[in-house]
Amino acid sequence: MKNKKIVVTGGLGFIGSHLVEKFVDNNEVVIVDNQSTGTIENIKELDISRIDTNFGSINDLNLEEIFEGTDYVFHLAAVTSVPQSVEDPVKSNEVNITGTLKVLEAARKTDVKKLVFSSSSAVYGETEVLPISEEVPINPLSPYAVSKATAELYCNVYSEIYDLPTTCLRYFNVFGPKQDPNSQYAAVIPIFINKLLKNERPTIYGDGEQTRDFVSVERVVEANELAAKSGETGVFNIGLGKSTSINQLFELVKECVKKDMEPVYEPARSGEIKHSVADVSKAKAIGFNPEAEYQQDLIKTIDSIAYNMFNK
């Protein structure tokens, strides 16, 4: 993608900053971010002079002014934590639903060519249908999941009624560099890496046989670009398309960091689904290749977390 104006909401966050890095050299890139979880550190190695950064909430900023002349909007700004949404469902609603509606409305009024929305596999909830295709009925089980499902519906309405092309990407378990291992709501891969590098035993909740679909952020970035350039609209699963148990994941991380330690097992957490794996055939039809460099991507993540740990 070249010579386009691209807006990334949540552009200082984990996935958003990777998108900025992908596009900044050949495009005009605009970031919208309120710095609640994202940080300027995530783009410190980029040429900041090439990036127009707008600090503030998508609910408060003049988005029409920011979006003027924009080709593509990648909308990632959100309350992304399930526990946080449970603790404060009103805020989750305000940011993830009202905020998304304001982004869509600004995109419509400024004739944006396409909007790509970052959704979540959380919209499926617990299901016995595996792998999970986009045809599986949604069953959101948290305020976060409800907000993502509602935002998807708004995206569809704006495509159908207002002729604003939208694509919604339902991410499964994304990992990669710039993921904060010290966050209260950190994901399992950076937690494992961080603990093992500190010679501490990580905790696994339950028996560790629960499975997840882990996909690297590099592949997620590719999926976003494919979605923007594709004429397809609607919903797409973005995962590896393969399941990995938490025990298997732990052994893989152990091997990568060369640590011979065992985890601590604690009782399973309530509300946690047992199995999850994506059917990604629909995404593959537009060129998505999730399996490329999977183990290398994990090694990159380990190297990144290790570097940040020992260079602070």
Please say whether the beta carbons of 82 and 60 come within 8 A. no
Cβ neighbours of residue 111 under 8 Å, at least 6 residues apart? none
Q: Is 105 left (phi over 0), alpha (psi -120 to 50) or beta?
A: alpha
CA–CA dist 204, 16 (Å, integer) = 28
Q: Going by DSSP bridges, is the β-strand pair 173-175/203-205 parallel, antiparallel, or unpaired?
A: unpaired
CA–CA dist 38, 265 (Å, integer) = 31
CA–CA dist 91, 171 (Å, integer) = 22
Residue 144 known to be catalytic: yes
CA–CA dist 196, 169 (Å, integer) = 32
Distance in angstroms between the alpha carbons of the first and the last residue of the chain = 35
CA–CA dist 274, 211 (Å, integer) = 7
CA–CA dist 252, 295 (Å, integer) = 9
Task: From the candidates 124, 144, 158, 171, give the one annotated as an active-site residue.
Answer: 144
Cβ neighbours of residue 80 under 8 Å, at least 6 residues apart? 13, 37, 144, 185
- Cis link prior to 290 (omega < 30° from 0)? no
CA–CA dist 303, 312 (Å, integer) = 14
Cβ neighbours of residue 157 under 8 Å, at least 6 residues apart? none
Active-site residue list: 144
